[in-house]
Chains A and B, each alone.
Chain A
Amino acid sequence: MLKSRILENKLSSLYKAGKIVGGVYLGRGQEAVSASLGTALIQGTDFFAPLIRDQAGRTAFGEPLIDCTRTYLGSAAGPMRGRDGNIHRGRPEMGMPAMISHLGAQVSVVAGMLFAKRLQGTLAGRVGATCVGDGATSTGAFHEGVNLAAIENLPLVIVVANNQFAYSTPNHRQFVCADLSERAAGYGIQGHSVDGTDLLESARVIRQAVELARSGAGPQMVVAQLLRLSGHGEHDDGSYVPLPVRNGHYGRDCVEVAMRQLVDHQIATVDEILAWQDQYAEEVQRAVAQAQQEPVPDPYREVWSATRTQFDTQSI
């Protein structure tokens, strides 16, 4: 989560310097939850469909930093080759599908990946996970996907990061239940709630949900309460977040909380954390520099075909 924070701070600077075209979407304030999920999953075995604010989870799952910088900076060498940008990236062949912008749509896709493994007889011990925000829980796709996963009894973990604002729209214009985890009961699946600003708690609850799914207990829904500590994107100053909310409990920075927790629990020393910061800043700098030096896509050499199949017919 620290590496992700340093990377995203750099992305924000690049955006403000006009070096990134399109949007920059940060996971600031959501790193504890995202990283907890990423570390609970096993790359090569599990599936992970990240959403817009999951840089920390992507990094923890094993996505190299260069995939991020190449996609943001439009390098032709990146996984999306300039055909898609920013957080719309993935490596489906490695169990990490590329998100589309339409919210809730990845829930059923991960369910389908797991369903395939069941048909192939290799589902045992495997988990799929996806993240959504509070806004996505209002979509039909979310409902259909969670319900289908429940019917098929798939080992799917749905992490809902309730950051209290869908773009600018507050929770009370999105839902009226007291806690989104109540919805789990309606689907007949297990629900979990956690303070998403608390790394140790997030790691514990999310790992528990992942292991429950892995052991055959069916879909799990984890609702993490937190606050997005940036705008929707870097074009947005987030000024619609009322000051009392910003200054409230969930307005605390999960990265700072996590650092204190590591020191207090003697998991790491202050010097170690400072050394990590230096090391990660170096890694981020290298990933940015490399992506910036690489060629951008060439419209004259682009293969303008959206299908693998090529027909003899003269026209499409």
Chain B
Amino acid sequence: MSVTYVDAIREAQETLLREDPRVFLYGQDIANFGGAFKATKGLAEAFPNRVFDAPISEDAMIGLAVGAAIEGMRPIIEMQFADFSSIAFNQIVNQAATHFYRTGMPIPLTVRLPSGGTPGSGPFHSQSMEGIYAQYPGLIVLTPATVSDAYHMLIDGVALDDPVIFCEHKFLYRWLKAKTIHGDRLPIGQARIIRHGKHATVVAYSAMVHEAVRAADRLVQDGWEIEVVDLRSVKPLDMDTVLASVARTGRLLALGEAFPWGGVTAEVVSRVCAEGFHLLDAPPQRLNARDTPVPYHPKLWAAHRPTPESICEALRHLLSF
């Protein structure tokens, strides 16, 4: 028996609905249909009047969640695709994110964002929004890369009093499997060293963690031992773990699937430069998607995002200094 990443997300929501009467699910096609990715399959039947189909109104879905949270509920909102959260941007960043600072009352809602690219999905079903949301004060942005993290971080995220942006990677939904959802459980805010090495550090998150590990496997034959840090959450950002790793290796590659201008990788590099410049033996590198919309064709898509090949190339460049 194995459990997939999307199974873990479904399991987490089942656990939450069972254990916390404040939790309800609201999203498009999530009730009897079970969601576009089946992340809520069977939950409407198991929990009557707790799982609701939403109209195609992303703004109002988050507005409803904010109001429900004010009145003591813990809503989980499924965006059908992370890309569509742009319609709800105002409610997320201006209503939910500012509420605690302005009024003193926190808004414990969770927005699930099926994120990142898959072959053939094209410009509007492939985006990675974590950097945009992390920019705004008041939001917690989670980016699980493992089956166990998908389960535990959703449960731990819903338990937080603040609005949580839960970026779950669509490519990992069915591809990523584990023997159990109950793996190594770390608190939110702590990064994980997923592979130890001594020559260079790759800081990654979400699906790119697995691409980094593939690249690291390939470089073993050349004698390089690459350390891979899985950030797990991009806000908060665990700089202690990142800096400790860079202190050991002296070299940094920040890796992400989002667009290249700004974002998580830029934040990691700038903080390492500001806080750990003396630890660096080489100029820190960034590798992101290209600065175009995410293309439709699988051949273009595969070359738009970082791949094991492009990661190896970036690492060889980093190691050449």
Point out residues on A near B: beta carbons under 8 Å: 79-81, 83-84, 88, 90-93, 97-98, 100-102, 105-117, 119-120, 140-141, 144-145, 147-148, 151, 305-309, 311-316
Contacts and interface: CB of A to CB of B under 8 A. Distances in A.
B238 A147 contact: no
Given A80-B103, A112-B75, A306-B100, 11 more contacts: A83-B101, A88-B102, A98-B103, A108-B63, A108-B67, A111-B64, A141-B91, A145-B57, A307-B162, A314-B239, A315-B236
Most-contacted residue by chain B among A91, A93, A105 (CB, 10 A): A105
B67 A114 contact: yes
Top 9 A-B pairs ranked by shortest CB distance?
Answer: A112-B67, A108-B63, A116-B71, A144-B60, A112-B64, A306-B137, A144-B57, A306-B138, A311-B189
Contacts of B239: 313-315
B236 A311 contact: yes
Given A105-B91, A306-B97, A314-B240, A112 B63 contact: yes
A97 B103 CA distance: 9
Interface residues of B, number: 56
B71 to A, nearest CB: 4
B41 to A, nearest CB: 22
Contacts of B190: 312-313
A83 B64 CA distance: 24
Interface in B109-156: 137-140
Contacts of B237: 313, 315-316
B51 to A, nearest CB: 11
Contacts of A307: 100, 106, 137-140, 161-162
B298 interface: no
A120 B189 CA distance: 32
A201 to B, nearest CB: 30
A105 B95 contact: yes
A147 B59 CA distance: 12
21 contacts: A90-B103, A92-B103, A97-B67, A106-B63, A108-B63, A111-B60, A111-B63, A111-B64, A112-B67, A112-B71, A112-B75, A116-B68, A116-B72, A144-B55, A144-B58, A147-B55, A308-B106, A308-B161, A312-B190, A313-B237, A315-B237
B152 to A, nearest CB: 16
